[in-house]
Amino acid sequence: MALSRQQIVRLGLREQDRLMAYILAILHDDHLAEDVFQETFALAVDQADQIRDADHLVRWFRVTARNKSKEAIRRQVRQPARLDDDVIEQLEPHFDKLPGLATSDTLEALRDCMDQLAPNARRLVELRYAQNLSGQKLADFVSQKLNTVYVTLSRAHRALGDCIRRRLTEQGGRHV
């Protein structure tokens, strides 16, 4: 027997953090990931009569989110895919083992804490993770010694971690 729309909404909300983390791993864009999540969630409600049970829904969410993410990447011609299909397939079994992941509070704290970093540290973090530069390539790009880049990144990571934990504690939220 198929799940009701209410059951899909309830189960979808329960899986929201895990599904958002999965989509973000593919897209690396918060706004685009939100769009894909909402599109996937709405489609699940619309197709409720085709979803048999909770396990089927979780698998359906993941497959649909992956396909919708790929579509979103293709629509954004200027931005190439971040993860190869083979990598996405290798990630698949690991998401079932993850506990609840970053909430919107955590992401908001990260954004706020990034704004508090010194400009050089913020630039290195953005180049490291948004542009996927690491090691000597990153040092060459910013015309700094490799050790200087590592020390700055290490301090930035520590500062971000402390800042995020402090903000979440102040908000009564989850610890990272």
Q: What is the mean pLDDT of each run of 10 residues along the chain (176 residues)?
A: 86 88 87 90 90 91 93 70 63 62 72 90 85 83 90 89 86 55
CA separation for the pair 176, 164 (Å, rounded):
7
What's the pLDDT score for residue 96?
Answer: 63
Label residue 131 exposed, middle or buried (CB < 10 Å: 0-12, 13-18, 19+): exposed
Looking at the chain, which residues constitute the CATH 1.10.10.10 domain(s)? Answer: 104-171
Helix (H, G, I), strand (E, B) or coil at 108: helix
Q: How far apart are CA 30 and CA 81, in angstroms?
A: 15
Six-digit token pair at 150?
């590592």
**Strand, coil or helix: 119:** helix
Is the distance from CB of 103 to CB of 174 less than 8 angstroms? yes
User: Radius of gyration over alpha carbons of the chain, in Å?
Assistant: 19
Structure tokens at 112: 């706020």
CATH topology of domain 5-95: Rna Polymerase Sigma Factor; Chain: A (1.10.1740)
pLDDT for position 144:
92
The pLDDT of residue 63 is: 94
In degrees, rounded to 5, the angle at the alpha carbon of residue 28 between the alpha carbons of residues 11 and 65 is 35
Task: In whole angstroms, give the CA distance from residue 9 to residue 143.
Answer: 51
pTM of this prediction? Answer: 0.47
Q: What is the predicted pLDDT for the residue at 174? A: 47
Length of the chain: 176
Q: Which residue ranges does the chain devote to CATH 1.10.1740.10? A: 5-95
CATH of 104-171, one of 3.20.10.10, 1.10.10.60, 1.10.10.10, 3.40.50.300: 1.10.10.10
